[in-house]
Structure 1
């Protein structure tokens, strides 16, 4: 039985994207962001590939993601980038996962857990430089709270970091300057210089590492071959799309002129057409707005999506692809022959960003890693 949908990761593309990141970041350590199911690429398989090809550390959004990675055997340092509840602190300490701290109350919760387990817990201190979500304010009051944190002797400050909230080079640079000023004040309090990380994909693509080299960079989108959401132009650093999404033709029929296709007869044929049904729909992550605007690849040719995108099916016009037949491969995202459809095309049609598109690809489909030699199945 043909797979309804197949999600593949190109190992060679991840390897090349890591090289591109290193071109932008020099000798800085790379913390690979694998939050949100690794931007839809599959948390465990993507993390394994990143570590295998030299990424030093991993970053997730939630304690649950960190625990999944540990249970899968990942031993690389893992940082949780969002606040952790008091009830989850002990498990993170036990699994040697590094929490982010942005309040004194959270620091005390973590310290109590570390004391109970008889361990010293490495932590990352987050500074708010304008995003307005989490982090110590870059003010005397914020510095004073961090000074009180230094009295918790079972905590070890491994790094100080920030999430830059800018969307253009100037605003990113302004946030980085605020971070640097706060960092120097924190160093005075700590008495040592922990690592810094502030540059995610947008800031790296803007070239900020050349202006202000930090000890660590924190890319996500770039590792998966995705231009940062707000990049105004191609980056020219050899990024390659990692994920491909394919299905197959489940049915072919000839429709006369005046036939309706899709719910509510949203599409009516003006002339006889050949229609192929593809078993993929919005429940699988296909944006509904692709109806009448998107396209797929069959036999290396573009086939327009017609009619509504259903929950588990869509229909395409294959009139100009006479060889199209039951069971033929359909590329939704990826390359086929000399043509390709990428996540950015879907994002443009949907009025969103490429990472929004890919994180919606259903996590229930196994991710298949395509190695330079042979494919291997890895759990999503």
Structure 2
């Protein structure tokens, strides 16, 4: 029996994409963000499901992620959102990836690699409109020098919005539009624009900008926006559940200690279940004494400390509980946001900490065919 399994709900991912389409309409291409192991859902498995249900492009954070997708046989456009190091330029060109440009040095590296390969390379220009990390300042004159690098084809221009409220987002979009107009003048053509990620889409900014690409991440996986002032669109469904099983049952007397440092002490005779899942698998340590799991449809509180590879739960009073019973850690009435709130973090942090080595098994839609796990 596998001690811990991640389940991907194909129907939920499909329905989340349909929810996004109801917001955007049919026109913009959907660039699905699959960075950080597809937000913990499994890079290759989740990407294939998203493509099956209509995602037309993918975006990742690193060159390594993009190479993994190419090695898995995915041939659609893949954009790398973080700058590519100089020694990665050859891989970008050889694998027909799309690098992001935030400086001339990276542009020249790609241009030289393209010359050596006898190719023209599509790239995306990033504008910094307030996030303060990657991207050219909106008023820089350096971008205009890209027009001289004839082996680079500017396929897209984009920004990362900082998600600090509707008015601020609108201001950032206005800055982006001015920068884009200057780029169009310099290049002599109109690259595709993308700025609307999950928070901006949930905030309704698609009604203001009918641009060529939208770039959802969290919404694809059924996650509410990080900004609590922005409501999640109706119809989102969690794309992931996490289960384990009862490995051992123990009856302890009143006054027994459980966990490192005697983290918990029983106040009455207690039946505990040992579950082979711990913080090495991505279970937040903060769930000790606050979190719960589901067993046979009943809540079972997590007691004692969350260990590296196990946790203990109180199953006293759960009828017919037995070794081997399924333990639902995420799923049913327990969603990722509950974990995030208890751990004092955000839902994406929780999901991306789920160990990448754990198998991801697809719960297929009716009549679906193709990959089931990876």
Unaligned runs of 5+ residues in structure 2 are none
Q: Secondary structure at the match of 1:7?
A: strand
State the match for 1:114 in structure 2: 114
State the match for 1:95 in structure 2: 95
**Residue 233 of structure 1, CA deviation:** 5.9
TM-score (ref. length: structure 1): 0.96
1:209 aligns with 2:206: yes
State the match for 2:24 in structure 1: 25
Q: Secondary structure at the match of 2:83?
A: coil
Q: Secondary structure at the match of 1:131?
A: coil
1:148 pairs, out of 132, 145, 150, with 145
1:248 aligns with 2:241: no
1:297 aligns with 2:294: yes
CA contact (8 A) 1:167 1:202 kept: no
Matches within 5 A, 1:1-380: 2-26=1-25, 27-139=27-139, 142=140, 144-232=141-229, 234-335=231-332, 340-373=333-366, 377-379=372-374
Q: Secondary structure at the match of 1:87?
A: helix
Q: Secondary structure at the match of 2:235?
A: coil
Unaligned runs of 5+ residues in structure 1 are none
Q: Secondary structure at the match of 1:378?
A: coil
Q: Per-residue displacement from partner, 1:235-290 (whole Å, max 9, x unpaired)?
A: 24200001110000001111111110111001001111110110000000000000
CA contact (8 A) 1:166 1:175 kept: no
CA contact (8 A) 1:251 1:277 kept: yes
Instruction: State the superposition RMSD in angstroms.
Output: 1.2
Q: Distance in 2 between matches of 1:145 and 1:251?
A: 64
CA contact (8 A) 2:39 2:348 kept: yes
CA contact (8 A) 1:5 1:247 kept: yes
**Residue 145 of structure 1, CA deviation:** 1.0
Q: Distance in 2 between matches of 1:292 and 1:121?
A: 54
Q: Secondary structure at the match of 1:368?
A: strand
Q: Secondary structure at the match of 2:328?
A: strand
Q: Distance in 2 between matches of 1:265 and 1:322?
A: 27
Q: Distance in 2 between matches of 1:217 and 1:19?
A: 13
Q: Distance in 2 between matches of 1:318 and 1:342?
A: 20
Q: Secondary structure at the match of 1:276?
A: strand
**Residue 293 of structure 1, CA deviation:** 0.2
Q: Per-residue displacement from partner, 1:324-350 (whole Å, max 9, x unpaired)?
A: 110000000012xxxx21110000001
Q: Distance in 1 between matches of 2:187 and 2:317?
A: 68
Moved more, 353-362 or 146-155: 146-155
TM-score (ref. length: structure 2): 0.97
Q: Per-residue displacement from partner, 1:68-110 (whole Å, max 9, x unpaired)?
A: 0000000110000000011111111111100000111111110
CA contact (8 A) 2:293 2:302 kept: yes
Q: Secondary structure at the match of 2:331?
A: strand
**Residue 234 of structure 1, CA deviation:** 4.3
- Count the aligned residue pairs: 371
Moved more, 316-325 or 120-129: 316-325
CA contact (8 A) 2:159 2:176 kept: yes
CA contact (8 A) 1:202 1:231 kept: no
**Residue 320 of structure 1, CA deviation:** 2.2
